[in-house]
């Protein structure tokens, strides 16, 4: 598919600055631009690339005024990021959804999988499992007994969902994610550890996305709950009886220990760790690699291990780096004081 800058501008209610006949047939990041590609400029940090990009057309903000010559044709729009997202989603939608059943797959008698679902080869659906309409179950997926899955869910190859877990509508679960493995619960008995049965489950509400190789453990009793709209990146650990509130997003490799409750609209950086049995409020922001040992109220921006206010962390770090100078000052004061005697 090839279109001109003018055609693009018409599609996105934009204004062409430059050659309206410039042709595009692909997308590229502005810093990796090539002829025939459409790029976008949304992050200020990347502005300097617009003067050197090889892309044929670049989406920019309406108020963007170049400070040097730009060889690319510009298409000015209200929100370049939203526009590119719309275009990417449009292109992606051209890939036909998987359909039908590939053989062999294994659907246990009594499981309910509507004909509108895709079931890939070597996928497994356990006894009494119920799957909604238009759900895509890729090859080698495992769906345990009594699992309930909503409509329009995409479950990529190799996902494992243990018995009794519930997946809402429009969820996307990436390869290697494990939903509902046993929580890590043991009772110490004479220096050994006896396993405590984990008879709860995992509940994913609607519109949740779970990254590749992320693990969400089943509750000891009750449910581990991932609320509507939560987005989890790859390799995240969510322990038993955790609850993550609506529209909270977590970057890769975060760990949440058992029974911790996290509120809504939080943003959690990569490799952050939350202790068990704590409560986190809403609208907080946790910097990458933070360690959160205690409960946190609403609207905090925290950083470090143990996590503190991010500005306080920045100050503490600067003072720490200057400790050699402070020690020297103290030594000099001491010397002077002795001389003064």
Based on the shown chain and the rule CB under 8 A, indicate whether residue 293 belongs to the binding site for its own copies: yes
Residue from 240, 231, 238 nearest 208 by CA: 231
Does residue 222 contact residue 240 with C-beta atoms inside 8 Å? no
Based on the shown chain and the rule CB under 8 A, indicate whether residue 249 belongs to the binding site for its own copies: yes
3-state secondary structure of 237: strand
Select the span of 7-15, 62-70, 109-117, 245-253 touching its own copies (CB under 8 A). 245-253
Select the span of 12-20, 58-66, 69-77, 317-325 touching its own copies (CB under 8 A). 317-325
CB 263 to its own copies: min, Å: 13
Based on the shown chain and the rule CB under 8 A, indicate whether residue 312 belongs to the binding site for its own copies: yes
Out of 5, 58, 257, 302, point to the residue binding its own copies (CB under 8 A): 257
Sign of CA pseudo-dihedral 214, 167, 162, 181: positive
Based on the shown chain and the rule CB under 8 A, indicate whether residue 330 belongs to the binding site for its own copies: yes
Based on the shown chain and the rule CB under 8 A, indicate whether residue 150 belongs to the binding site for its own copies: no
Alpha-carbon distances of 255 from 60, 281, 284, 324, rounded to whole Å: 38, 17, 16, 35
Based on the shown chain and the rule CB under 8 A, indicate whether residue 1 belongs to the binding site for its own copies: no
Measured CA to CA, the distance from residue 201 to residue 221 in angstroms comes to 8
Based on the shown chain and the rule CB under 8 A, indicate whether residue 152 belongs to the binding site for its own copies: no
Based on the shown chain and the rule CB under 8 A, indicate whether residue 47 belongs to the binding site for its own copies: no
Based on the shown chain and the rule CB under 8 A, indicate whether residue 110 belongs to the binding site for its own copies: no
CB 302 to its own copies: min, Å: 13
Out of 80, 229, 263, 281, point to the residue binding its own copies (CB under 8 A): 229
> What one-character-per-residue DSSP string does 58-115 give?
EEEETT---SS---SEEEEES-HHHHHHHHHHHHHTTSPPP-SB-SS-EE-TT-B--T
3-state secondary structure of 24: strand
Out of 201, 253, 260, 266, point to the residue binding its own copies (CB under 8 A): 253
Select the span of 10-18, 63-71, 110-118, 273-281 touching its own copies (CB under 8 A). 273-281
User: Do the bridges between strand 3-4 and strand 23-24 make them parallel or antiparallel, or are there none, so unpaired?
Assistant: antiparallel
User: Do the bridges between strand 136-137 and strand 154-155 make them parallel or antiparallel, or are there none, so unpaired?
Assistant: parallel
CB 185 to its own copies: min, Å: 8
Out of 13, 71, 294, 329, point to the residue binding its own copies (CB under 8 A): 329
240 an active-site residue?
yes
> Residue 316 CB: number of other CB atoms within 10 A?
14
| Active-site hit among 48, 134, 240, 277 | 240
Based on the shown chain and the rule CB under 8 A, indicate whether residue 176 belongs to the binding site for its own copies: yes
3-state secondary structure of 330: helix
- Pick between residue 69 and residue 90 the one whose CB is nearest to its own copies: 90
Based on the shown chain and the rule CB under 8 A, indicate whether residue 165 belongs to the binding site for its own copies: no
CB 329 to its own copies: min, Å: 6
Measured CA to CA, the distance from residue 241 to residue 256 in angstroms comes to 10
Which residues, 184 to 203, sit near its own copies by CB under 8 A?
184, 186-187, 191-199
Does residue 114 contact residue 130 with C-beta atoms inside 8 Å? no
CB 112 to its own copies: min, Å: 18
> What one-character-per-residue DSSP string does 101-154 give?
B-SS-EE-TT-B--TTSEE-TT-EE-TT-EE-TT-EE-TT-EE-TT-EE-SS-E
Residue from 80, 31, 35 nearest 56 by CA: 35
Which residues, 48 to 77, sit near its own copies by CB under 8 A?
none
Based on the shown chain and the rule CB under 8 A, indicate whether residue 36 belongs to the binding site for its own copies: no
Based on the shown chain and the rule CB under 8 A, indicate whether residue 319 belongs to the binding site for its own copies: yes
Does residue 209 contact residue 224 with C-beta atoms inside 8 Å? no
Based on the shown chain and the rule CB under 8 A, indicate whether residue 122 belongs to the binding site for its own copies: yes
Which positions are annotated as active-site residues? 240
């Amino acid at each position: 598919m090839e279109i001109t800058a003018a055609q693009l501008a018409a599609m996105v209610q934009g204004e062409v600055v430059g050659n309206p006949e410039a042709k595009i047939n692909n997308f590229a990041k502005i810093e990796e631009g090539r002829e025939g590609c459409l790029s976008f400029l949304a992050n200020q940090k990347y502005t300097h690339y617009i003067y050197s990009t090889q892309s044929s057309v670049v989406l920019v903000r309406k108020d963007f005024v170049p400070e040097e010559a730009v060889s690319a044709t510009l298409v000015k729009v209200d929100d370049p990021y939203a526009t590119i997202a719309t275009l990417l989603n449009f292109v992606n939608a051209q890939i036909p959804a998987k359909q039908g059943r590939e053989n062999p797959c294994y659907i246990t008698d009594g499981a309910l999988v509507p004909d509108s679902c895709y079931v890939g080869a070597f996928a497994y659906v356990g006894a009494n499992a119920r799957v909604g309409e238009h759900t895509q179950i890729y090859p080698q997926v495992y769906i345990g007994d009594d699992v309930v899955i909503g409509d329009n869910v995409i479950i990529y190859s190799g996902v494992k969902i243990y018995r009794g877990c519930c997946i809402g509508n429009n969820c996307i679960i990436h390869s290697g994610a494990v939903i509902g493995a046993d929580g890590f619960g043991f009772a110490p008995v004479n220096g050994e550890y006896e396993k405590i049965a984990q008879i709860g489950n995992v509940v994913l509400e609607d519109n949740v996305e779970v990254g590749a190789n992320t693990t969400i453990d089943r509750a000891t009793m009750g449910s581990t709950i991932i609320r509507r709209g939560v987005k989890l990146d790859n390799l995240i650990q969510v322990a038993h009886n955790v609850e993550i509130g609506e529209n909270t997003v977590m970057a890769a490799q975060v760990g949440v220990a058992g029974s911790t409750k996290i509120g809504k609209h939080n943003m959690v950086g990569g490799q952050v760790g939350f202790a068990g049995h704590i409560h986190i409020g809403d609208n907080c922001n946790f910097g990458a690699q933070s360690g959160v040992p205690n409960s946190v109220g609403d609207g905090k921006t925290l950083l470090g291990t143990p996590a503190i206010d991010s500005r306080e962390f920045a100050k503490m770090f600067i003072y720490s780096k200057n400790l050699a100078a402070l020690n020297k000052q103290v030594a000099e004061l001491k010397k002077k004081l002795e001389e003064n005697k």
